[in-house]
Amino acid sequence: MTALNSPLALKLGAFVALSNDEMSALDRLHARRKLFPPGRDMVHQGQVNQSAYILASGWVCSYKLLSGGARQIVDFQIPGDFLGLRSVLFRTADHNIEPVTKVEASEVLAIDLLDTFSRTPRLATAVLWAASRDEAMVVEHLVGIGRRDAKERTAHFLLELGSRLKLVGLGSAQGYACPLSQYMLADALGLSAVHVNRVLRELREDGLVTFQNGHVVIHDIDRLMVLADFDKSYLDHDGPLLK
Amino acid sequence: MTALNSPLALKLGAFVALSNDEMSALDRLHARRKLFPPGRDMVHQGQVNQSAYILASGWVCSYKLLSGGARQIVDFQIPGDFLGLRSVLFRTADHNIEPVTKVEASEVLAIDLLDTFSRTPRLATAVLWAASRDEAMVVEHLVGIGRRDAKERTAHFLLELGSRLKLVGLGSAQGYACPLSQYMLADALGLSAVHVNRVLRELREDGLVTFQNGHVVIHDIDRLMVLADFDKSYLDHDGPLLK
DNA sequence: CGACTGCTTGAGCCAGTTCAACCACTGTGG
DNA sequence: CCACAGTGGTTGAACTGGCTCAAGCAGTCG
């Protein structure tokens, strides 16, 4: 895969028109490919001096565990996303990262990243944009768990995922492939798996979305967006620092 | 007030030993003092080209509103905290900011901030540290709302606030002044005000904390920390980029 | 074939909500 | 100086969204 159609390039390209130089700088970041099997944590809480990764293919999730054994998934990462950017800047990781599927990721050393940023500052801005978008997603997630009921929350989640996947060429307004189990959905949405199941059924019976067999099919995006109170502006901030 | 005992200096100083140069650079950021009365929003969603502020005194809260009228408070900011750092980097604000009390804050223009960072890079690192701490707090907040019950969540919240206030010289292990109403607590914790009231009573009757008349008194911090499953490590990351 | 993982459905229960009332304070205008 | 309105806190009673427990089913893998 060349930089041109890599998920990361697609994502950043939605924000900055990338020059050839910038493209090849991105390419160079993809030098150290690594593979991770699903299930075994890539990073866990308290681990020190972790590298960052750029996800090339597959899905991962970041989560925290409570002493009682409960798990809260903070976010899923999909191709084109950075993982553990914060764990590089700070010595220790404050959450766990687990591959949901087989994962292909490029390791990025702190030095290389900083080096790339100083040579191609527009890339730095673009990556900062991506990081801020991630932060905005966490905030929106918080709002959803705090103040939306299970149905709205689930609908919102599925719409957000769709929107993110579309940006990296992995989905359309009609639907997308989704390797998550209902258990993972539950841990992300702050619900029980049983209840997620019922909510998904309702959404299906209402003719809004179908979540089945690893595929999300969106039947009526307009009604779904109304139900979820979905305003995608938090996903595509304008880029101000860029002239 | 000189930089030496300003809340921001105290906070950053916990992370980096600040030189005289760095101190006076901080001082210069405090040039444009402004006052804000409680109640009227300082920033609201969608607003463009906002400045950042450093909170000198008073409390503010950042929140989002849903179409149904529900409100979710994402975070409170206390003296020494930055407000709207993200809104500077990005053209539009994605949340509202409202003063909880009378507020004194220093406006910081994007240029001045970037300028300060390039002259005193250790300050840049320190501010980055603070920003990352804020992000970690939002994540912890998300986890709490998703997976802690009302009592644990409330206890955790009060402990976190105490820990933050202590860092800027506004509280101790015994307690602190707190201008929040039970309604605000409710909007932050994702609960109803009525239930917050009952939970606070329970915590009081258990001899753990008292939240009354604008004061939080911590009676038994050890039991409180156990109840809340409070691990303060997310509040004080080490600083790796600093030699 | 059995074991395991993920999905589905029912039944009963409980944490937290909503509605409604009442109290204590504080500030404000006549 | 009192009346009155507004804000914040407190408590009870009834209701409900989502949970837990329990069972059964389908597909997949060794």
CATH number for the domain that contains residue A187: 1.10.10.10
Domain boundary among B134, B164, B193: B134
Residue A240 resides in a domain: no
**Same domain flag for B61 and B107:** yes
Please report the pLDDT score of residue A240 as a whole number: 41
Mean pLDDT value across residues A104-121: 89
Strand partners, A216: A176, A211
Residue B189 CA to residue B191 CA, distance in Å, equals 5
Least confident of A150-164, B39-53, B167-181, B221-235: B39-53
The verdict on residue A52 lying in a domain is yes
Are B114 and B108 a contacting pair, CB within 8 Å? Answer: no
CB B138 within 8 A of CB B146: no
- In this predicted structure, the answer to whether residue B90 has a pLDDT above a threshold of 80 is no
Q: What is the mean pLDDT of chain B?
A: 90
Distance of CA A12 to the CA centre of its chain: 14
Share of chain A above pLDDT 70, in %: 95
pLDDT higher at B170 or A84: B170
B3 pLDDT higher than 80:
no
Mean pLDDT value across residues B166-172: 94
Report pLDDT for B132.
86
Tell me which residue range forms the domain holding B95. 3-134
Answer whether residue B206 shows pLDDT above 50. Answer: yes
Domain contains A144: no
Q: Please report the pLDDT score of residue A49 as a whole number.
A: 73
Handedness of CA B177, B179, B182, B185 (dihedral sign): negative
- Residue A97 inside a domain? The answer is yes
Residue A118, pLDDT score? 85
Look at chain A and report how many structural domains it folds into. 2
Q: For residue A234, what pLDDT is reported?
A: 85
3-state secondary structure B133-197: HHHHHHHHHHHHHHHCCHHHHHHHHHHHHHHHHHHCCCEECCEEECCCCHHHHHHHHCCCHHHHH
> In this structure, are A123 and A33 located in the same domain?
yes
Residue A2 is predicted with a pLDDT of: 58
Do residues A106 and A178 share a domain?
no
**Judgement on whether residues A125 and A162 belong to the same structural domain of the protein:** no
Does residue A191 reach within 7 angstroms of strand D, measured from its CB? yes
Q: How much is the pLDDT for A212?
A: 95
Asked whether the predicted pLDDT for residue B242 surpasses 60, the reply is no
Q: How many CA atoms lie within 13 A of B166 on its CB side?
A: 15
Task: Specify whether B29 is located in the same domain as B112.
Answer: yes
B153 touches chain A (CB under 8 A): no
Q: Which two tokens stand for residue B206?
A: 């258990």
Measured between beta carbons, which residues in chain A are less than 8 angstroms from residue B64?
A: 139-140, 143
In this structure, the answer to whether residues B70 and B158 fall within a common structural domain is no
Say if B196 falls within a structural domain.
yes
User: In the sheet where B209-212 sits, what is the strand order?
Assistant: B171-172, B175-177, B215-218, B209-212
Helix (H, G, I), strand (E, B) or coil at B78: coil
Task: Identify the domain boundary among B76, B109, B134.
Answer: B134
Name residue A26's beta-bridge partners.
none
Of A59 and A128, more confident: A59
Contact list, B238 vs chain A (CB under 8 Å): 90-92
Confidence label for B241 from pLDDT (cuts 50, 70 and 90):
very low
The set of strand D positions with any atom below 7 Å of a protein CB reads 7-13, 17-22
Where do we find the tokens 């292990």? B173
**Residues in chain A within 8 Å Cβ distance of B86:** 132, 135-136
Does A71 contact chain B (CB < 8 Å)?
yes
Q: Which of B139, B149, B185, B243 to mutate to test the interface with A (most CBs of A within 10 A)?
A: B139
**Banded pLDDT at A230 (limits 50, 70, 90):** very high
Residues B154 and B64 in one domain: no
Inspect the interface and report whether the beta carbons of B91 and A239 lie closer than 8 Å.
yes
Q: B162 and B126 in one domain? A: no
Same domain, B8 and B124: yes
Q: Is A241 part of any domain?
A: no
A95 has a chain B CB within 8 A of its CB: yes
Give the best-scoring range by mean pLDDT among A15-19, A128-132, B110-114, B205-209. B205-209
Q: Of A87-91, B83-87, B153-157, B239-243, which range is least confident?
A: B239-243
My answer on whether A113 and A230 are in the same domain is no
When pLDDT is cut at 50, 70 and 90, the band that residue B2 belongs to is low
Domain assignment present for residue A153? The answer is yes
Nearest-CA residue relative to C1' of D12: B194
Per-residue pLDDT tens over the stretch B111-137:
888 889 888 888 888 888 888 899 999
CB distance B147–A66 less than 8 Å? yes
Q: Is the dihedral of CA A106, A111, A114, A116 positive or negative?
A: negative
Lowest mean pLDDT across B5-14, B185-194, B220-229:
B5-14
Residue B75 maps to which CATH number?
A: 2.60.120.10
Using alpha carbons, select from B239, B14, B25, B237 the residue that is nearest to residue B117.
Answer: B25
CB-CB contact of A107 with A51 (8 Å): yes
Q: What is chain A's mean pLDDT, rounded?
A: 90
B50 and B156: one domain?
no
Residues A10 and A105 in one domain: yes
Mean of the pLDDT values across residues A186-193?
Answer: 98
B27-73 per-position pLDDT tens digit: 999 989 999 999 888 988 888 877 899 999 999 999 999 999 999 99
The residue-averaged pLDDT of A139-161 equals 98
What pLDDT shows up at residue A103?
Answer: 95
Number of neighbours of residue A217 by Cβ within 10 angstroms: 13
- Distance of CA A24 to CAs A21, A125, A127, A242, B29, Å? 5, 17, 15, 20, 38
Distance C8 C1' – A174 CA (angstroms): 26
At B228, list the tokens: 């809340």
In terms of pLDDT, which residue wins out, B153 or B45? B153
* B243 within some domain: no
Structural contact between residues B139 and B25, judged by C-beta atoms closer than 8 angstroms: no
A148 touches chain B (CB under 8 A): yes
The pLDDT value recorded for residue A3 is: 58
**Closest residue by C-alpha to C1' distance, nucleotide C16:** B195
CA angle A165/A221/A56 to nearest 5° reads 5
Taking residues A160-164, what's their average pLDDT? 96
